[in-house]
Structure formats: C-alpha cells, structure tokens
Chain A
Amino acid sequence: MIKLIGVALIAAGFALRLNTLLVVLAAGLATGFAAGFSLNEIMAMIGKYFSDNRAMTLPIVLMLPVVGLLERYGLKERAEVLIRRSKAATAGRVILLYTAVRQISISLGVSIGGHAGAVRPLVAPMAEAAARGRGVELSAASVVSIRAHAAAGENIGNFFGEDIFIAVGAILLMKGFFDAQGMNVSVWAMALWGIPTAFIAFGAMWWRCRLLDRRIEQAAADEQKAGGGQ
C-alpha cells in the first residue's frame, strides 16, 4: 500500500497546482524509496526512461521552426481566407473532417498530423475562421472551446484509429503479452475487434462537434440580443 504514495502525491500536487515537474519528481523519489531503491538507482531509472522517451519530444522540437516560420508568413491568415470561401464550413465540421482524415490514415498505418504539425498551424485557425466566417464575433470562451475541441479531435482520431492497424505498437504489445503467457492470439482478431469502438468514437466526436457549433451559434445569438437592447 505504501507504494501508492506516489499516486497520492501526484493527485495532491495537481490539485494544489504546484509546479508539475517538481510534483512528478517528488512522486518518483517517494515511490522509489518506498519500494526500497537507493537515490542513485532512482536517478538511473529517471535517466534511462527520460532518454528512452525522447521520441515524445522530438516531433515537437523539429516541427516548431517550420511552423513558426510559416505562421510569420501568414499561414493562419491564408487558411482563414480559404475557409471563409466555403459556405458550408463550420468550426465543428472542420474539426470533424480532420478527425476523420486522422483516424482513417492512421488505421492504414500512416501517421500524419499531430498537435504541433497540424492542429496549431492549420486545424484550429481554420475552425476559428469558419466560426467567424458566419459573421459572428467569437467570445473568449468560444475560442478556447474551439481550440480544445480541435486538440480533442486529434487525440480521438489518433487513439481510436491506431488499433485497427496490425503493425502498430498497441497490437504488437498485446501480441507480445499473450506470447509471454504462452497463448496464441491472432493479431488480426485483435485489430478486428477494435473496429466497433473506432466507429463509436467517431460518432461521439460527431456529436460533440455538432454541439460545439450549436453553442457557438447560441452564444452569438445571445450577444446580438444583448447588443440590440442598448
């Protein structure tokens, strides 16, 4: 039970809004000591896992000079111009379309997109422009909501498309687990049974995107009403 001290520290630290890195380090040290490791052993583990997971940081760092440069030369502004020409575009539809592209491409084994490479420079600005293109001034809360849903679309497409492709990490990990147990479970079967959830996840995203559009319209209508009374 004492080993759960790290989990408790994380929960407390996040709740108190302390510096997240510090909370994580403290939780790592506490858990390591509770399990009987020495300080140097814990440092070695932190060093090893930190290095092993450099792949998490690499795409962001390499992507930022390109994205920053293109933003400086008007990438977002051009995306806004294009999206305004489309009468059917709404914030929700832009995000849902991206989710579909992301989910289908990754289910075929091709990983395109990402938060740094696609959501920040293209999807979020296009979604915002689509909402503005309907002639409404967006409230700060609406902007936050649109951006957050764009990030959610990236995650939903990524997570729930990935498991359908057999050569991907998750399926291989499950296969490895069963192999180690001496069980023969087919990768094709595991990929197949991921499909129903993939459709449900996309359906859920469709529902959230529709709701997002309705809320933006509602907020704009309320604004107009309040403005008309003056």
Chain B
Amino acid sequence: MKIITVEACYAVVGLYLFVLAGRIAGEREHPRRWGSALFWVLLGVTFIGAKILPPTLVGYLVVAMVVLAATGQVTRGASHEASREERLGHAERLKNRIFWPALLIPATAAVGTLVLGELHYGEVWLVEPKQVTLIALSLGAMLALIAAMRTTGASVGTASREGSRLLQTLGWSLILPQMLAALGGIFAKAGVGEVVAGLVAQAVPTGVPWVAVVAYCAGMALFTMVMGNAFAAFAVITGGIGLPFIVILHGGNPAIMAAIGMLSGYCGTLLTPMAANFNLVPAMLLELDDKHAVIKAQVPLALVIFAANVILMMVLVYRF
C-alpha cells in the first residue's frame, strides 16, 4: 500500500486544469472562451481518468483536443500582466525573500528523491518508490506555491490567475510532447524501426569495423530524430545494427557500444522538433517567436558531440 501515489499527483493536475477551464469560461472578453475551456476540460479528464477510462475513449478525447487546436479554438485571452513598475516595486520590497519559494522546488525534489522512497512502515509506503522523483517534484511545487503565497501575501486566486496566464502562453503545445510520444509508440508497434534498421544495414558495408560504428551511431541519431526519443531508438537500432555487427561480427565491447550509442541518440534529440518537451515547449515558455530557435542554437553542439562520439567509439569499442 502506498499513501501518496503518482496518480494522486496527476489528479491534482487534472483538478487544476478544471479550475483553469472555469476561469476561461468566465472571461467574457476571451475570443474563444468555450472552445478553449473545453480543451482544458478534456485534458483534465485524460489526467484524472487515465486509469479508469478505456484507452480507446481516451484516444478519441485526444482527437477532439487536436481538432479544437487545429481549428483555432484554443487561444489566449486578454493577459493582465503586472506592469514592470509594479514588479520592480515588489522586487524592491521583497528583496531576496522572493527566491526562497523558487529554491524550495529543487530542494524538496532533491531531498525527497533521496529520502521519501525509503520511508515505510511494514508494507505501508509513504510514496510509490518507483515514482519517487515525480512525486517529490510535485510535492516541491505545491510546497513552493504555499511558500510563495505566504512570502508575497498573494491570494489563491492570484496564484491560479498567474498560472493560467502562463499555461495559456503555452496553449495547445502543452500536449505536443505526449502526442509525439503516442506517435512514437505507434511507430514502434508498426515496426517502423525494423524497416529503418534493415535499410541502414543493407545500404552500408557493415562488414568493415569502423563503418559499422558510423552506421550504428548515425542510425541512433537519425532514428531518434524520427522518434523524438533515444530510448525508443535504442532497442531497435542496437538490435538491428549494433549487436549483430559491432558486438557479434567484430567482437566489440557491448558496454561501450551501448553507452556511447545512447549518447549519440541524445545528439539526435537535440536536433528534432519531435522531442517537443526539450525543444519546442521551451521556445514557447521563453516566448520566442521562432519555435525552432532552441534547435538552431543546439545544431553546432549536437554535431560536435556526435562527431566526438563516433571517434570515441571507433577508438574504444574494439580495444577494451
């Protein structure tokens, strides 16, 4: 038995999304208040009901959200951002106290990750040990919210209004990471990876040891770009190229191959809009007009690190 489960954290998210939807529905000057409110209600339902509703129904709810987004129903309301003078005034008054709530999130997450998973009385666990990172982060965010309201003297209403202002800045792109993860899942089920691995293995002379290394690293990076996720690429590309050629045919070291192969995949993550949570959502969070600005900044980094990975693997994998 676990007292705090990750499902409870998802339920909190769902309830907050309902509050947000209620706020939007009540905004008379919001250009698309019903469509936007419906979008956030549907998202809240998928968060709370994921373990209760049949997956097929959740799938159709997701489609409804996509349709609302694609038809321009999910827009921002008029934003009532505090003026810079007002913010400067608060900054002058609060001084460094304003940082404490912000630092409470990482502090709680760090301590929670190390401690919470160990706390149990017989079979009664305080938190789900497998989900301790996520639960600690959620608790940190909630504690920080309480601390922030105490420090600033703001009301719950102000907190929910400021949160909804930022959520509406993100808009429908908030669900893009989950949507792309679903696409990655379908690709995996459909066997897209086997086709890609087969094409690479056929197209290049993997009988030469260093060529096998290049093919494997490039396969990891490219397929990660397609999937948006290096984990999904790992099993497919390692099973299709790495294991049969580098390890079995040429006698390479599997630990070195796997470690550097995964890191080559991460170079692909840096380059792809498919990895929306790392690349597109931050651009929205930072209010950049160019959605691909983060990827553009990462291109030189990814290329340099990738080249280094290929060289490292060539030098190391057949030597140890």
**Nearest Cβ distance between residue B315 and chain A, in whole angstroms?**
10
Shortest Cβ gap from A66 to chain B (Å)? 5
Name the contact of A193 in the complex, choosing from B65, B191, B259, B297 (C-beta under 8 A). Answer: B259
Q: Is A150 an interface residue (CB 8 A)?
A: yes
A50 touches B173 (CB 8 A): no
Known contacts A73-B152, A78-B95, A47 near B58 by CB under 8 Å: yes
Task: State A204–B303 Cα separation when bound (angstroms).
Answer: 10
User: Do the beta carbons of B88 and A120 come within 8 Å of each other?
Assistant: no
Known contacts A59-B141, A124-B286, A178-B254; is-contact A111 B133 (Cβ 8 Å) = yes
Q: Check A50–B56 contact: CB distance below 8 A.
A: no
Q: Is the CB of B70 within 8 A of A74?
A: no
Task: Report the minimum CB–CB distance from B224 to chain A (whole Å).
Answer: 11
Size of interface on B: residues with Cβ below 8 Å to A:
140
A191 within 8 A of B: yes
Asked if A204 contacts B13 (CB within 8 A), the reply is no
Contact A46 to B154, CB < 8 A, known contacts A61-B167, A111-B109, A120-B286: no
* Main DSSP-derived SS at the B contact region: helix
B 258-282 to A, binary, CB cutoff 8 A, 1 in contact else 0: 1110110010011001101111111
Asked if B98 contacts A73 (CB within 8 A), the reply is yes
Q: Is there contact, CB below 8 Å, between B99 and A6?
A: no
Whether the Cβ atoms of A25 and B63 lie closer than 8 Å is yes
CA distance A110 to B296 in the complex (A): 28
Determine whether B37 belongs to the interface, using a CB cutoff of 8 Å to chain A.
Answer: no
Q: How many residues of A contact B (CB 8 A)?
A: 114
Complex interface residues of chain B between 224 and 280 (CB less than 8 A to chain A): 226, 230-231, 234-235, 238-239, 243, 254-256, 258-260, 262-263, 266, 269-270, 273-274, 276-280
Q: Mark A151-168, 1 if CB is under 8 A from B, else 0.
A: 110111001100100000
Contact A7 B192 (CB under 8 A): yes
Q: Kindly list chain A residues whose C-beta atoms are within 8 Å of the C-beta of B282.
A: 115, 119, 151, 154
* In the complex, B318 has a CB within 8 A of chain A: no
Contact A47 B181 (CB under 8 A): no
**Residues 167-179 of chain A, each 1 if its beta carbon lies under 8 Å from chain B, else 0:** 0011001100110
Complex contact A70–B13 (CB within 8 A): no
Classify the interface of chain A: helix, strand, loop or mixed: helix
Q: B25-33, B118-126, B182-190, B206-214: which one contacts chain A?
A: B182-190
Excluding A57-B13, A68-B166, 15 further A-B contacts by CB distance (< 8 Å) are A3-B192, A24-B180, A45-B59, A50-B175, A54-B178, A59-B134, A62-B141, A66-B101, A66-B141, A72-B82, A78-B96, A115-B282, A120-B286, A173-B234, A208-B300
28 A-B pairs, CB-CB below 8 angstroms?
Answer: A3-B195, A6-B190, A21-B69, A22-B66, A47-B53, A47-B61, A49-B181, A53-B181, A60-B174, A61-B13, A62-B142, A66-B102, A69-B148, A69-B149, A71-B87, A74-B88, A109-B114, A111-B109, A112-B110, A118-B106, A122-B102, A148-B286, A163-B259, A163-B262, A170-B230, A191-B259, A197-B260, A205-B301
